[in-house]
Structure 1
């Protein structure tokens, strides 16, 4: 309220002097003097001290806006942007899995996601269909949703901490036609298996005891090993404003709620981080957050 009063006094001085016919230069100088003398210098000091930060923020915003404009004009999407990166850096590390020190190059991630895209297309999944992913964080997680996105299939990224009603709610409300789950979560899936419905196609990936899964669940890893690693014949026609995948709230105020992540939102989050932190192609980003929340 104090600063509002200071601004009012300054603008009042400006208006009064102009009313009496004083020149603009004198009027502005008098108004600025009133503003500074009444404490406005504190605000000017803040502007001066934060100018570089604000200019950086403005430059980042302009860069991201320009990149989005360029990709939108090219009718691009996340898989197409990823494809361009693969062409430039095929043997560069894309993902480093700390648990096993396994390094996935861009080429490996591209081929794995191509196998995912080709397999689910051959299984009859169409653009706009939803497949739920329920597994702990590891490189395959990225390959699954990226591969689906290449053919327009939308992934629902399920929190691997969910159990029983919350898990069932997230899978069913997503409209998923299939569920991919990690072997480490087979017990959680078995608890809701009877309520998923007969039409739910289920795949498991990773290590698991065969006794802990039902007969209608298929092992995805050998199926992907046999799938073509070439780019899918039918690529997604989705644009930047179309759905990429779903993420969920934590469910602290009721059941978890789905949030739609479109291609432009995903790209915007990554681009803001890249430009704001002035990253270079030699930098490595350490991710300590779960992949199911689009980290």
Structure 2
């Protein structure tokens, strides 16, 4: 292994920390990050990353320990992520909507030792019945004193953390196979699992994104998506740093302010969840719709009925692709030979096929499961943290099984059909039906529950809760909604609620969710129509 921060060009394609060090050596005065109009050069970023790394190690953390980041979009998020990588620590992005059992599971299952957060979010941690035994230190940003602090842990301010490191202290060696992050899945078949990323996986994902998007060092890449998602972390931030470009970070998505932020930042590329495109299209047309520098946009999904009018109105080229937490983005619709409606061709490091139910390669046009193999080492997940059986269960016949249905055409382009799992996707968030149902079943009088997808006007899913009640029981829908809102992250709270006398079941007693999806909403109660909305914490 090579020591982090040396001038080895090869290291720039092996570790996250090495990539930053190499770009700082190449062009130290070039802007790397732009947040709220303030710029941080590559040289300044490199120095700040080392300062954070030494501060984290000064808490007593050792390489391999986990650092949880419970933060909205801000520059300290990036410094903590990169500082952890340089210290050989493992970043754990935590969704800021998590609370209660979801927050507890995120911290406990990943073994978080240090948590970096804001005063306003620290109360969610303090409210937990018990803290994970691994959590020893909480680092709080900003000057405001938190209203509540978790008992039994050391609480440091951000300046205090930075000042605690030894400026002359040596940093550990970090290699391409060493873990750099644990990303939490949506938990489609149960509780969320921690996906362990090797360093090289993140760097190769960034490299391939830059290649597929044709990104140059002169560009400015923008994201307002939350940094606790891979879309913002890798597809824009690390992608931009790999290309030597400038990354412009937005706080959050606002349809009314979006294009003004794009213009002010001189942005040439951005990424968007599929649901963002129709929201932007729904804004009133303006004479300034093409008054921007954006040339390319990465967005998934981008169905033709959205892609074509968006490109026509705003004068951009949309690139669609496909990936999963465990394997990174592995398909891109190529810039020069795009087929609208396709999710693209495999990247240079990826082997993908579509297999039938017998495990044989499906013929072009034949539906089957999309399966994957890497061509290189350390470019897919190392496993689910602490769950070797679950890791092995995803492999069959030496292929990693995505659980998604698709097909190919005669030219080898891939097309997505649907998810095999009982997962939902809403506002860009993957949702576990299992976890939603566990909360529904905890409500008095509910004897059976199913959470299924129902079409959204934004092109993804809304959550429909279908319930079976105790005989003679009446349901207060508003109270049930409030129950779900208290227990679930805002994006998981069902919008629609429907009661049936009996849920359709298989001979083995499992709910026929296909039947429920086909039946649709019917006369379901609509929380949005009732003027209710899930609570957001940030």
What residue in structure 1 maps to residue 156 of structure 2?
Answer: 219
**Counterpart of 1:286 in 2: which secondary structure?**
strand
What residue number does 2:10 align with? Answer: 71
Q: 1:95 aligns with which of 26, 30, 33?
A: 33
Encode CA deviations 1:168-210: one digit per residue, 9 max, x unaligned.
0010110122222222312212211633348532221224334
Deviation track 1:29-61 (CA, whole Å, cap 9, x = no partner) reads xxxxxxxxxxxxxxxxxxxxxxxxxxxxxxxxx
Question: Deviations 1:107-141 (Å, cap 9, x if unpaired)?
Answer: 23222221111112222211111121111111111
SS of structure 1 residue aligned to 2:28: coil
Counterpart in the other structure of 2:22: 84
Q: 1:264 aligns with which of 180, 189, 200?
A: 200
Is 1:160–2:103 an aligned residue pair? no
**Structure number with higher relative contact order (C-alpha < 8 Å, ≥ 6 residues apart):** 1
Say if 1:160 and 1:126 are closer, same or farther in 2 by CA, change over 3 A. Answer: same
Normalising to structure 1: TM-score of the pair? Answer: 0.67
User: Gapped runs of 5+ residues in structure 1?
Assistant: 1-69
Q: Offset at 1:251?
A: 4.1
Distance (whole Å) between structure 2 residues aligned to residue 163 and residue 195 of structure 1 = 13
Cα offset, 1:274, TM superposition: 1.0
Q: Contact between 2:24 and 2:42, CA under 8 Å: does it hold in 1?
A: yes
Residue 130 to residue 198, structure 1, CA distance change in 2 (3 Å): closer
Q: CA RMSD of the aligned region, Å?
A: 2.5
C-alpha deviation, 1:247, in angstroms:
1.0
Counterparts of residues 218-237 of structure 1 (less than 5 Å): 218-227=155-164, 230=167, 233-236=170-173
Aligned equivalents of 2:225 and 2:166: distance in 1? 29
Task: String of CA shifts for 1:199-258, please: whole Å, max 9, x gaps.
Answer: 53222122433433357442331213424585851332x322221111112345543221
The unaligned stretches of length 5 or more in structure 2 are 1-8, 233-538
Give 1 or 2: higher strand fraction. Answer: 2
More helix by share: 1
Q: Is the 8 A contact 1:178 1:202 kept in 2?
A: yes
More displaced, 216-225 or 175-184? 216-225
Which structure has the larger Rg? 1
CA distance in 1, matches of 2:161, 2:132: 24
Taking a change above 3 Å as real, the CA distance of residues 220 and 152 of structure 1, as seen in their structure-2 partners, is same
